[in-house]
Amino acid sequence: MAEQAYDVEKLLDSIEDSEYFSTKKTPSHFVHANQVISELRTLASYPLVGPCKVDHRQRWGMRISLERHLAGYQYESYLLDPFIETMVTILISPLRKMVHDITVGDLKGQAMNEHGDLVFYMLYFVTNTRGYKTIVKFLPHEVADIEPAFEFLRQQDKRRPWETRYMLLIWLSLMCMIPFDLKSIDSQATETSGRIPLVDQMMDSAKLYLDCAGRDRDGASLFLARLLTRKDTCMFYLPEFVEWSSSVLSSEPNAFQTIGILGSLCWIFKLGRREVLLPIADKLEEMLVYIEGRDHFMSNSTIKKLIVKLSQRVGLCLLKPRVAAWRYQRGNRSLLSNLGAESVSKIDKGSSTIAEETEDDEDFEVPDVVENVIERLMNGLRDRDTIVRWSAAKGMGRMSNRLPKEMADDVVGGIFELFSEDVFGLPSGEPDVSSVSEHTWHGACLAIAELSRRGLLLPHRLTELIPWIILALKFDVKRGAHSVGSNVRDAACYVCWSFARAYTPEVLGPHVRMLSNTLIAVSVFDRDINIRRASSAAFQENVGRMGIFPHGIDIVTVADYFSIGNVTNSYLTVAPYIAGFEEYRRYLSQHLLESVITHWDIAIREVASEAMARIAVLDLDFACSDIIPALTKMTSSLDPAVRHGALITLGRTAKAVKAHSEKSLDQRISAETLEVE
């Protein structure tokens, strides 16, 4: 076979300009599938044992070429699906043959060369691109592969690339699921011994990898969990592993080993059977309490996330698997009725269904540990790290789904209280959120969204909740030279999106005006493109599922993903179009006046002033009676941003009103109103 030449410098230079890394072009299919498969075949054709026939420069060229083609599909990895099986088979077949040859075949005693590490690396890269859950389906899982693969893993030195060990551990985690007793396939097992030598060796090896800094630690966690949750190992080896974990954690291990142990326990409580896990649940809670008391552990965001994740899974284990009978159920939905001609003007009450409780809420005793878990999750919602808050929010939703109604209602009330922390009242009566923690509000919004989409936020709570969500949609607090709150606004959009999927039009009807106006304002006027798009998606979801948002279809066709992506187009084209609908016009003007023309970003103030001028001419009476007088008062503000925004907006608005009015400004506005200090 002729060797394919790779110009490394040329490949490196082409990466920056490659169409695969362009944000302007999203692939619609796997463009270079044939080329990638051809290069993978070439890669897999070289010997993996003995002298390496490919020099370092050529191996590096192969790696760069394949990475360049695959990296562009990180966000559209599903496009690889028609070719994934072929790609994985090309790579795993020579690796499987090599593993057997080195451990039990003719090449026993020899070592894999550097090219073998490259093949393992490319298998890892494909796995990382598409996700191991998809790739593992195409890995071989024959009984005859278990001992050779494990023996090959034991031969690996920690100085070798971790990608090799990671893929071996993922492969072994799949083979651990075979439906045969491991003692029957263990060549070292004896009839009289209660232990399985192969399992002992696997546990000892996997424990060593829990201390690694690479992803082989994650592979070892999954491998241990699969191994210890088997029916033939869980009763004997699982309690032993928990005791070992407890002793290691009490000896102040490093962060990597702590993460590895906690990750293994999280997987065990996800994969294991409840009756097996119940006896060790209390021991796990003691371990978590101990870890929380160590400051050097709690300064690591990954450890905190794993504590929250493990805690919720322990809590779920202690609660009976059930779906809350008291939860709210939306019932049947009809897209045709939602988009009907009369759906915008009225709510079809005949199709609105609020589920009644079909059975009494079970009276069962909730263990005290569950209360500790809920308290830990509540504190997790306040954490400074997003991954911790997100895990706590999901845990809160899952836990509440198994709680009695009264206790779940207390949980909802506790989350509501997070919004009111450090909130003060202004003289105008409006809440002052300048002192609140954006982390707390973000966590609270995520938790509310998780509860809502599961039907655990009952309709009578919406009246209390909606005003807080409206504030969260506009949460933008300046701290020093920058502002915070984009994550809060994004989470609030998620809440509104979950409302559409959870409630009937009849339930949301009283709140439609507030929600629709605010979502539209955020869709066109928010500073961040991802927030504008998130708000637009929430609005679109409500339009499609509810059918009660005024002029929803007309707005969705104009305020789409691309049109609001450009801030200038969003402000100066989309916003004036939406303002053409009377239901939104004055709210958009008020939102500009109160939040946008005084924004800390001068570029936003500039474009907002022009947007105000374009919207003001659609309602001259309102502009002259409310907008211009308010702008005049704002020009005397001591805040430079407020004064600057008011002045440029006043000038442009007055000019636009004059150009579109038959009357002069003197006739429309009193002289006292136009006085500027």
Mean pLDDT for 118-129 is 96
Residue 16 has pLDDT above 50, yes or no: no
Q: What is the pLDDT of residues 566-614, one digit of tens each?
A: 999 999 999 999 999 999 999 999 999 999 999 999 999 999 999 999 9
Mean pLDDT for 378-405 is 95
Least confident interval from 326-330, 342-346, 459-463: 342-346
Tokens (6 digits) for 299: 């300064």
The sign of the dihedral angle between the CA atoms of 173, 174, 178, 184 is negative
- In a domain? residue 40: yes
pLDDT confidence bin for 158, thresholds 50/70/90: confident
8-state DSSP, 190: -
Residue 258 has pLDDT above 70, yes or no: yes
Domain boundary among 442, 469, 503: 503
Note the pLDDT of residue 349: 45
pLDDT confidence bin for 90, thresholds 50/70/90: very high
Rounded distance between C-alpha atoms, residue 442 and residue 444, angstroms: 5
> Please, which residues have CB within 8 angstroms of residue 145's CB and are 6 or more apart in sequence?
96, 99, 100, 171, 175
Rounded distance between C-alpha atoms, residue 656 and residue 614, angstroms: 7
If asked whether residues 636 and 603 sit together in one domain, one would say yes
**More confident site: 625 or 523:** 523
If asked whether residues 543 and 474 sit together in one domain, one would say no
If asked whether residues 538 and 677 sit together in one domain, one would say yes
Mean pLDDT for 623-640 is 89
pLDDT confidence bin for 7, thresholds 50/70/90: low
φ/ψ of 523, rounded to 5, equals: -60, -35
If asked whether residues 673 and 552 sit together in one domain, one would say yes
Q: For the domain that residue 451 is a member of, what is the CATH number?
A: 1.25.40
Q: How many domains does the chain have?
A: 3
Residue 535 has pLDDT above 90, yes or no: yes
> Please, which residues have CB within 8 angstroms of residue 86's CB and are 6 or more apart in sequence?
37
If asked whether residues 498 and 443 sit together in one domain, one would say yes
Q: What percent of the chain has pLDDT over 70?
A: 87
- In a domain? residue 321: no
- In a domain? residue 350: no
Alpha-helical segments (H) within 381-435: 386-400, 405-420
Tokens (6 digits) for 307: 């504590």
Q: What is the pLDDT of residues 415-440, one digit of tens each?
A: 999 999 888 876 666 788 888 999 99
If asked whether residues 569 and 484 sit together in one domain, one would say no
pLDDT confidence bin for 109, thresholds 50/70/90: confident
Q: What is the pLDDT of residues 202-234, one digit of tens each?
A: 999 999 999 999 899 999 999 999 999 999 899
Domain boundary among 175, 199, 223: 175
For the chain, the average pLDDT equals 87
Note the pLDDT of residue 500: 93
- In a domain? residue 455: yes
Please give the C-alpha separations between residue 334 and each of 339, 340, 452, 542, 546, in angstroms, as whole numbers.
9, 10, 20, 13, 9
If asked whether residues 57 and 151 sit together in one domain, one would say yes
If asked whether residues 159 and 22 sit together in one domain, one would say yes
Domain boundary among 437, 469, 503: 503
Q: What is the pLDDT of residues 543-560, one digit of tens each?
A: 999 889 999 999 999 999
If asked whether residues 463 and 549 sit together in one domain, one would say no
Mean pLDDT for 136-144 is 93
If asked whether residues 497 and 533 sit together in one domain, one would say no
Tokens (6 digits) for 577: 């179009």
Residue 384 has pLDDT above 80, yes or no: yes
| Best CA proximity match to 544, nearest among 334, 264, 259, 238 | 334
- In a domain? residue 123: yes
Residue 663 has pLDDT above 90, yes or no: no
- In a domain? residue 338: no
If asked whether residues 475 and 535 sit together in one domain, one would say no
The sign of the dihedral angle between the CA atoms of 184, 186, 191, 195 is negative
Residues in the chain: 677
Note the pLDDT of residue 350: 40
pTM: 0.88
Mean pLDDT for 226-243 is 93
Note the pLDDT of residue 130: 94
Q: For residue 30, what are the domain limits?
A: 1-175
Note the pLDDT of residue 1: 41
Query: 477-479 and 424-425 as β-strands: parallel, antiparallel, unpaired?
Result: unpaired
If asked whether residues 474 and 566 sit together in one domain, one would say no
Note the pLDDT of residue 610: 95
Q: What is the pLDDT of residues 506-531, one digit of tens each?
A: 999 999 999 999 999 999 999 999 99
Note the pLDDT of residue 356: 47
Tokens (6 digits) for 240: 């032993």
CA 426 vs. chain centroid, Å, equals 35
φ/ψ of 355, rounded to 5, equals: -65, 135
| Best CA proximity match to 585, nearest among 597, 577, 596, 594 | 577
Note the pLDDT of residue 21: 43
- In a domain? residue 265: no
- In a domain? residue 207: no
Amino acid occupying residue 317: C
Q: What is the pLDDT of residues 346-382, one digit of tens each?
A: 444 444 444 444 444 556 688 889 999 999 999 999 9
Residue 19 has pLDDT above 80, yes or no: no
